[in-house]
Every structure is written in C-alpha cells, then in structure tokens.
C-alpha cells in the first residue's frame, strides 16, 4: 500500500507566508493524530555544528513548537551528543552550540533537553532481536517522551549517501554506546601514495588515532572508532574505507537503531523533512559547501521510509546547481547522491527498512 507524503513548495503570498504554510502542511498530514493533551513531545533535530549554516532555521522550529502547544502538549527540542570531537560532544557544549546557532528559548519557545545526558551515557536499552543487533542503546529522554517528531534537514552524507528521517532517528537518537556500535564496522585506511602529509586529518580525529610517519598519515585501528570524520576532511581523497563491505553493514545497523527508537513510539511518531539548503555533507561539519540543487520544499508524513524515498526522488528530479561540487549526475533525473558519493549505495537503507516493516518505499506525493 502506498503511504501518503505531503509536500509544500516554497511559494508564498501575503495571504500565506511559509510559516503559515508549514502549519497547514503539518495539519493536512495529520500531525494532530500523534499528539495527545499533556504529552511530552520530543522534537528531534540537528542544531548544526558551530560554523555550519545549512541547518533548519529556528523560526520554523518555533512554528512547530507553537502548533504542539496549541494542542496542550509540552514540546522540547532534543538531540543526542556526538562521538567525535566537535562542539556537540557533551551536554554543555551541545547546548551552547544550539543557542549560538539560534535555538534559544526566546526564539524557539521551548527548552532543549539533551537526549543522552551530560556525557552521552544516559541511555535506555531496547531489545529488537535483528540481524545486526539484539539490543540497541537509545538516549533515555527520547525513550521517555510520549511522542516523537523527527524534523530532519535533508542533505548528502558521506557514509549514508543522504541523511533524512532514518538517519535523524537511527543515528541521531543513539547514545554514545549506540553510535559507537553503528560505526564499529567502518575502519578507514590511508592510501599512502595519495597522502601528502598535510596533517589536516590529525586535528579532526577525536580519538588521536592518526599520526604522521615519514610524511604519511597512518591510522591506529585500536584507537579508531570509525566515525568517518577523516574521510571527508582529507581533500586528497587519501582516506578510504572498504565501501562495498562497510557501507551496507553500517546502513543496516542504522536502520535497526531506527527500528528500536520507533518501537517505543507506536502511533506516536511523525516525520518532517526540510529539503532546503541541500548541502553535500552532514551538518556535523563546521562548514557547509554550496547546495547541490535548489531549495525544493518541505515534506511531512507518518511514514519515515516513504518520506525519505520521496525526498531523495525530489532532489534527484532537479538539475544540479552551477558551482556545486557535483561534476557528474548533473541532469534532472540523475542520482545526485551517487554523483557526490559514488561508492555509497543509499538505497540499502530504504530497502532494509522496508524489509523490516518500518515503512514503505511506495508513496503518493500530495501537494498542498
Ligand atoms: S588529510 Fe589526507 S593528505 Fe593530509 S595527512 Fe591526512 S591523509 Fe594525508
Ligand atoms: S581515524 Fe578517522 S574514522 Fe577513525 S576515529 Fe579518527 S577521524 Fe574517526
């Protein structure tokens, strides 16, 4: 059966601005069915690393907060801490970064509660008994919440091809231990011939796993946690993983975490993807390269798989923007995410999620 994905483009008028249109999108898509009076509602989003500017504008989040308050429920914004060095790896720095990026109470009208506590250790195990994991570890505040609204910035991602609802939930709600578990199979290697010994990767490795020897970088596999940060940082493409083996396993692990999170939210989860500022890489980096296609719009659905499938299709239907990093797959209908990451088969996350019954890849796009 086809799932419904509701779509708003970015046209507006004096009669209806984009915030009002977002409200209409969410109501038409049925957000009210998932929220009851007095519910504590987790709005799971990504606050952006310091220096990144591609994340969702806080005024849109405020609109969603206000809609939930009108239903006499209590929204809070949340995300879990990161495993890599950066500006969101513990609760104080995470909160500070969120406020610096505009997610201040005075703007968003709701508090922030970091999902997995001070150092990422506040977690709740959930038994799933699947191929990759028997048990997954989720930030406790997300498990405790009565309802979950995923608000994902849809963009490219170096390990998953694209990042949307599945990544926002599966990786984004995992505690530190859960994130480590998902990255456990990603073990990069330095292609010595290509390495020029610039050292950029060393300062970006949170685990001090990289060092220079005879002018070439080397990775200590015992220290490496497989976060993948160094792969994108190296401008010479000298750091590689065994894409054919590592990526499918990584994607299946992320999907199983998504399943774990959603198992605690039966009929209490709703998904919104912002297909805007479609940067080639994750908002976890302290910069964002030029968008690969134009701003397209916002989609909302009760189905996390259908919304990601629809989002990827909407992006791929566009022509690439001049000046972006895309050098192939430029035309409308060509795969933009394969164009940026030729080694990553992003379809795996959707196919596996569908096979686990999390949602459907088949959808009807309903324009409001
Ligand atoms: S960033 Fe790349 S080129 Fe520079 S030292 Fe690291 S692996 Fe070598
Ligand atoms: S070597 Fe690369 S993948 Fe491993 S921990 Fe360091 S930055 Fe992450």
> Which residues span the domain enclosing 230?
189-240
- Ligand 1 atom with the smallest distance to the CA of 199 is 5
Q: Is the CB of 283 under 6 A from ligand 2?
A: no
Residue 277, domain member (yes or no): yes
Q: Are 275 and 298 in contact (CB under 8 A)?
A: yes
Residue 114 has which token pair? 């970091």
pLDDT band at 226 (very low <50, low <70, confident <90, very high): confident
State residue 246's pLDDT score: 85
Handedness of CA 143, 144, 149, 153 (dihedral sign): negative
Q: What is the DSSP string of 51-96?
A: T---SPPHHHHHHHHHHHHHTT-EEEEE-PPPSSSSSSSSHHHHHH
Separation of CA 237 and ligand 1 centre (Å):
8
Q: Is the CB of 86 under 6 A from ligand 2?
A: no
Domain boundary among 199, 221, 240: 240
Q: Same domain for 126 and 264?
A: yes
Residue 133, domain member (yes or no): yes
pLDDT band at 153 (very low <50, low <70, confident <90, very high): very high
Q: Same domain for 195 and 178?
A: no
Q: Same domain for 167 and 290?
A: yes
The phi and psi torsions of 217 (rounded to 5 degrees) equal -75, 150
User: Rounded to two decimals, what is the model's pTM?
Assistant: 0.91
Q: Is the CB of 227 under 6 A from ligand 2?
A: yes
Q: Same domain for 282 and 333?
A: yes
Q: Same domain for 52 and 116?
A: yes
Residue where the block lists tokens 């690969």: 292
Identify the top-confidence range among 79-88, 170-179, 233-242: 170-179
Q: Is the pLDDT of residue 174 over 90?
A: yes
Q: Same domain for 134 and 168?
A: yes
Q: What angle do CA 103, 277, 173 make, to 5 degrees?
A: 55
State residue 1's pLDDT score: 82
Residue 44, domain member (yes or no): yes
With 0-12 CB in 10 A as exposed, 13-18 as middle and 19+ as buried, what is 228? buried
Residue 71, domain member (yes or no): yes
pLDDT band at 231 (very low <50, low <70, confident <90, very high): confident
Q: Is the CB of 218 under 6 A from ligand 1?
A: no
Separation of CA 248 and ligand 1 centre (Å):
25
Q: Is the CB of 173 under 6 A from ligand 2?
A: no
Cα(363)–Cα(152) distance, rounded to whole angstroms?
19
Residue 245, domain member (yes or no): no
Q: Same domain for 8 and 89?
A: yes
Q: Same domain for 179 and 216?
A: no
Q: What is the DSSP string of 204-244?
A: H-TT--EEEETTEEEE-TTT-----HHHHH-TT--EE--HH
Q: What is the DSSP string of 259-280?
A: HHHHHT-TT-EEEEEEE-S--S
Average pLDDT, the chain: 95
Q: Which of 204, 217, 218 to mutate to test the pocket of ligand 1 (most atoms within 8 A of CB)?
A: 217
Q: For residue 197, what is the domain's CATH number?
A: 3.30.70.20
The proportion of the chain whose per-residue pLDDT surpasses 90, expressed as a percent, equals 84
- What is the CA 256 to chain-centroid distance, rounded? 15
Q: Same domain for 88 and 170?
A: yes
- Ligand 1 atom with the smallest distance to the CA of 212 is 5
State mean pLDDT over 255-284: 96
State residue 176's pLDDT score: 87
pLDDT band at 69 (very low <50, low <70, confident <90, very high): very high
pLDDT band at 129 (very low <50, low <70, confident <90, very high): very high
Q: Which residue is closest in CA terms to ligand 1's atom 8? A: 195
Q: Which residue is closest in CA terms to ligand 2's atom 6? A: 205
Separation of CA 199 and ligand 1 centre (Å):
5
Cα(104)–Cα(114) distance, rounded to whole angstroms?
14
Domain boundary among 240, 265, 281: 240
The closest ligand to the CA of 201 turns out to be 1
Q: Is the CB of 284 under 6 A from ligand 2?
A: no
Cα(268)–Cα(39) distance, rounded to whole angstroms?
10
Q: Is the CB of 350 under 6 A from ligand 1?
A: no
Residue of 272 and 244 predicted with greater confidence: 272
State residue 25's pLDDT score: 98
- Ligand 1 atom with the smallest distance to the CA of 198 is 4
Q: Same domain for 193 and 285?
A: no
- Ligand 2 atom with the smallest distance to the CA of 188 is 3
Q: Same domain for 215 and 140?
A: no
Q: For residue 64, what is the domain's CATH number?
A: 3.40.50.11440
Q: Is the CB of 229 under 6 A from ligand 2?
A: yes
State residue 199's pLDDT score: 94
State the total domains in the chain.
2
Identify the top-confidence range among 85-89, 151-155, 214-218: 151-155
Q: Is the CB of 142 under 6 A from ligand 1?
A: no
Q: Is the CB of 205 under 6 A from ligand 2?
A: yes
State residue 255's pLDDT score: 98
Beta bridge partners of 216: 213
pLDDT in tens, 315-329: 999 999 999 999 999
Q: Same domain for 120 and 218?
A: no
- Ligand 2 atom with the smallest distance to the CA of 239 is 2
Residue 229, domain member (yes or no): yes
Residue 246, domain member (yes or no): no
pLDDT in tens, 236-267: 889 988 777 788 999 999 999 999 999 989 99
State residue 185's pLDDT score: 80
**3-state class (DSSP) for residue 19:** helix
Question: Smallest Cα–Cα separation from 57: which of 21, 23, 7, 101?
Answer: 101
State residue 84's pLDDT score: 72
The phi and psi torsions of 218 (rounded to 5 degrees) equal -140, 150
């Amino acid at each position: 059966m086809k799932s419904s994905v509701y779509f708003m483009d970015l046209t507006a008028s004096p009669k209806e601005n984009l915030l009002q249109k977002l409200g209409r999108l969410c109501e038409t898509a049925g957000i009210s069915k998932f929220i009851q009076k007095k519910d504590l509602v987790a709005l799971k989003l990504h606050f952006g690393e310091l220096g990144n500017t591609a994340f969702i504008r806080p005024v849109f989040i405020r609109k969603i907060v206000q809609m939930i308050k009108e239903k006499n429920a209590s929204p809070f914004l949340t995300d879990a801490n990161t495993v890599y060095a950066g500006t969101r790896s513990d609760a104080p720095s995470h909160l500070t970064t969120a406020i610096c990026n505009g997610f201040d109470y005075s703007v968003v009208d709701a508090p922030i509660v970091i999902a997995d506590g001070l150092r990422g250790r506040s977690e709740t195990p959930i038994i799933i008994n699947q191929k990759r994991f028997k048990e997954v570890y989720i930030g406790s505040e997300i498990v405790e919440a009565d309802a979950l609204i995923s608000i994902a910035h849809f963009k490219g991602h170096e390990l998953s091809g694209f990042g949307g609802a599945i990544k926002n939930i599966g990786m984004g709600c995992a505690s530190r231990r859960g994130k480590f578990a998902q990255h456990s199979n990603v073990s990069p290697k330095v292609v010595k011939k290509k390495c020029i010994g610039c050292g950029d990767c060393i300062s970006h490795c949170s685990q001090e796993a990289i060092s220079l020897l005879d002018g070439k970088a080397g990775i200590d596999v015992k220290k490496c946690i497989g976060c993948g940060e160094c792969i994108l940082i190296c401008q010479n493409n000298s750091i590689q993983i065994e894409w054919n083996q590592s990526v499918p396993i990584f994607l299946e692990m992320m999907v199983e975490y998504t399943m774990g999170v959603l198992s605690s939210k039966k009929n209490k989860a709703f998904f919104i993807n912002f297909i805007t500022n479609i940067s080639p890489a994750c908002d976890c980096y302290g910069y964002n390269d030029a968008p690969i296609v134009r701003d397209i719009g916002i989609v909302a659905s009760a189905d996390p798989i259908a919304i990601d499938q629809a989002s990827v299709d909407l992006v791929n239907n566009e022509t690439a923007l001049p000046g972006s990093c895309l050098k192939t797959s430029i035309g409308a209908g060509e795969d933009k995410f394969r164009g940026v990451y030729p080694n990553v088969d992003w379809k795996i996350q959707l196919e596996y999620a569908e096979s686990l019954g999390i949602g459907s890849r088949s959808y009807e796009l309903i324009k409001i």
